[in-house]
Amino acid sequence: MTTDFRELQKKNKRTTRWLLFASFFLVFFVSFLAGLALTGFLGIGIFALLFSGALTFFQYRKSSTLALRATGAIPADPDKYAQLHNLVEEMALASGLPKPDVYIVNDPAPNAFATGKDPENAAVAATTGLLEKMDRNELQGVIAHEMAHIRNYDIRVMTVATATAGAVAIIADLFWRITFWGAITGGGRRRSNNQGGGPQAIIILFAFIFVTVLAPIAAGLLKAAVSRSREELADATAVELTRNPSGIRMALEKLDRDVTVVKKTSHATSHLWIESPDDHVKGHKGKKMNDMFNTHPPLSERIDLLRKMEGLPPYQG
């Protein structure tokens, strides 16, 4: 069992560097292509490098706060949610980390997520539905899963993925608006100045397709790849922290049977949750095209891995 955990950790760490590089390169390339299409000046690459770095850094610094705000998370009262605070502190001690900030999301759907830049600046949020529907053993498994994301620095990589998707969305929106209004107010003038504008027109067309269509798709695929590679590792690490495979396994089985969906969520934050809200919204199970964009492996696969650790038959849910 321990060997499986270590193998998953090694595989996870090997993918981290190229995913982070790919994230920055995507933002840089989108910035450069948009700038080249709008100005026709190759030197725009220097500006694109600085702009993409600044934008990604800003998104990275603010994404955790934005995630908590977007999900409607509020600080969990230590008296009212004493059990939640106790379990978070217990799992923090087990993982050797400082206790993260604890938040609550007033929503009947059972779910939870972790966010932050590093273990010293992290937060764990749980829905009221999770607290109501899970027993202590199952809730401990869920909290251990979220602490695993913090310990494995998944929160940092997922924050970068969120920042990348946000930065690409901002650039695509700006480019579309500038191109649209430029076509209305000065498109004819530009074409005449370029004597037909052949090469420039081709660059603009290619940039428009790439920046507004292909780049957001690439950002979505990148975010999905980042998240999928880390969910099973977090499940395995939760078992390591609790020394109890049944807790997280029974919690996932209960999540799989529950059909309620978190109300206040979006594609930008769906990859943070222990169960992606998109799974129920899209009803994508078994659809290969949608599977490419799934930020989580199917719950049944995660459950089967845990059941195998316990020597139980495959999940029949």
Catalytic annotation, residues: 146
3-state secondary structure of 169: helix
Query: Residue written as tokens 């994404």?
Result: 63
Tell me whether residue 157 is exposed, middle or buried, using C-beta atoms within 10 angstroms of its C-beta: 0 to 12, 13 to 18, 19 or more. Answer: buried
Which tokens go with 28?
């840089």
In whole angstroms, what separates CA 169 from the centre of its chain? 15
Which tokens go with 310?
């316990």
On whether the CB atoms of residues 279 and 294 are closer than 8 A, the answer is yes
Strand intervals (E) in the chain: 74-75, 101-105, 112-118, 121-127
Q: Distance between CA atoms of 49 and 158, rounded to whole angstroms?
A: 22
C-alpha R_g of the chain: 22
Query: Residue written as tokens 């694109």?
Result: 48
Q: Distance between CA atoms of 160 and 158, rounded to whole angstroms?
A: 5
